[in-house]
Amino acid sequence: MIAVQGVDGTVVAVLGLGRSGLAAARALREGGAKVVVWDDTPAARDRAEAEGFEVRALTRDGSFDDVACLVTSPGIPHLYPAPNPVIAHALQAGVPVDNDIGLFFRSVGAEYDSFDTPPKVVAVTGSNGKSTTSALIHHVLTQAGRQCQLAGNIGRGVLDIDPPGDGGVVVLELSSYQTELSRALTPDVAVFTNLSPDHLDRHAGMGGYFAAKRRLFAEGGPDRCVIGVDEVEGRFLANQLSEGRGDDRVIRIATAKLTGPGWYVFARKGFLAEWRKGRQVASVDLREIPGLPGAHNHQNACAAWAACRSLGLGPREIEAGLRSFAGLPHRSQRIAEAGGVVYVNDSKATNVDSALKALLAFDRIRWVCGGLMKDGGLDGLAPGLSHVAKAYVIGREAETFALGLPGAEAEICTTMAEAVRRAMADAQPGEVVLLAPAAASFDQYDNFEKRGEDFIACVQAVLGQVG
């Protein structure tokens, strides 16, 4: 646990008592704060009370009179589409609002002066690929013998990790919900993977969404920035952060060749290349690495490569880590192969852009898709529909979703079990049965993990019957 600094003797309120909220409450108490908590769920309040925390209804008059700061969980809206009533009350009372990421950055470096080699923090954000990129950086560093911890939007809560030791590295995956509110953002290395429409209601449009991501780079001034420049937002961000074309504090990454005097890592036709000061210094064939299928994962590999190079690893160390990476559950996860058919779980493909990348990774697909549709429609899937032999649509909005796939054969299945059964019955050798929903899971599942687990269970059940 990382004890929060600067709170000794103060009263701090915590809103939301999930994984990150409870970890924040414990870390605040460890730092000497009196912690009061609230969650709309009675069971969550009971768990916190059992740990000795004072439960306080934070919307009552006077509930913030003695509170120095409110710490909120990332899923709770503080501005758009409307502030949560507790946060609205705190804003009215003039009480600063922060989150666990802000507490982490203001506390983690408290004892760095005692280290021979100060620890480093790598923070990864972006629309797609940030989980895989974060896990890949962690894997490569660990395989190279570096002390490393993975936290944030993946793995453990940031305040629940151990204080990093001499030369240690903390890798954080940060969502826009986390970066938009944190009052301190000071990573040593910051990574921006890409940007595509997502969470637009929460950020009141693409401008607000990009602004939330940009804070990671603008607020704390990282020593090195790794920026995906396939989209105009990334090119704009890289331009803002660099002093000139040869400024190697910014490493540009892309899925197309980059040229010039700067520092570049790009993947083209399955080959990763690192260029610096106008010459190639390393290259790797990514095509046969099973844990990194498709151009989108090649972009993730570029980001991880650049971050690890920033931390002093050599090309051979990084290549060895890439080759031993097994991938993450629910992210291009190869779960089975039978009768010449491959089964892939990409339940994390919750938006159109990430689902498109999954479609483009395979040639002929039996596609399980659908769920709670997001703003923006499905037009962005068009470039991948030629790879789809047939779509098997699930979810309460299955009929509407299917209508958004012009030119693609689609069958309304509604349930996962029916979609998997039909897709497996139709699949031919050489094809892929792919779950890449292009939609949120909340119409049928608690989260995308539960959806992916159901897909796996349905596939295994049918394979067991066949066997």
Token readout for 350 is: 């919750």
Residues in the annotated binding site for ATP: 126-132
How many Å is the Cα radius of gyration of the chain? 23
The model's confidence at residue 115, banded by pLDDT at 50, 70 and 90, is confident
Confidence of residue 116 (pLDDT cuts 50, 70, 90): confident
For each of the domains in the chain, give its residue range(s) and CATH number, in order of start. Answer: 11-98 (3.40.50.720), 103-323 (3.40.1190.10), 333-466 (3.90.190.20)
Structure tokens at 145: 């013998």
In the chain, the N- to C-terminal Cα span, in Å, equals 48
Quickly tell me which residue has 């925390």 as its tokens: 53
- pLDDT value for 253: 98
Enter the tokens of residue 368. Answer: 């399980």
How deeply is 372 buried, as exposed, middle or buried, from its count of CB atoms within 10 A (0-12, 13-18, 19+)?
middle
Does 117 score more than 80 pLDDT? yes
Torsion angles phi and psi, residue 45, rounded to 5: -65, -40
The predicted model gives 92-110 an average pLDDT of: 94
Residue with tokens 């989150």: 99
Confidence of residue 111 (pLDDT cuts 50, 70, 90): low
Work out the average pLDDT over 206-226: 94
Contact status, residue 146 vs residue 84, Cβ threshold 8 Å: no
Binding residues: 126-132
Q: How far apart, in whole angstroms, are the C-alpha atoms of residue 144 and residue 317? A: 6
Percent of the chain with pLDDT strictly greater than 90: 86
Q: What percent of the chain has pLDDT over 70?
A: 99
Here the tokens at position 203 are: 């950020």
Say yes or no to pLDDT of 467 above 60.
no
Query: Binning pLDDT at 50, 70 and 90, where does residue 274 land?
Result: very high
Whether 325 has a pLDDT exceeding 80, the answer reads yes
- DSSP-derived 3-state class of residue 347: coil
- pLDDT tens figures, 152-197: 988 788 999 999 999 999 999 999 999 999 999 999 999 999 998 8
Question: CA 257, CA 429: separation in Å to the nearest integer?
Answer: 34
> What's the confidence (pLDDT) of residue 109?
76
Each residue of 355-400: pLDDT tens digit?
Answer: 999 999 899 999 999 999 988 889 999 999 999 999 999 999 999 9
d(CA 19, CA 158) in angstroms, rounded, equals: 10
CA distance 216 to 190: 7
pLDDT-derived band at 324, boundaries 50, 70, 90 = very high
Identify the DSSP state of 372. Answer: B
Give me the phi and psi of 380, to 5 degrees please.
Answer: -65, -10
Do 125 and 191 touch, CB atoms closer than 8 A? yes
Closest of 139, 152, 133 to residue 2, by C-alpha: 152
Query: What gap in Å lies between CA 350 and CA 371, rounded to an integer?
Result: 9
| Residue 45: other Cβ atoms inside 10 A | 18
**Residues 266-286: what's their mean pLDDT?**
96
Residue 150: pLDDT band by 50, 70, 90 thresholds?
very high
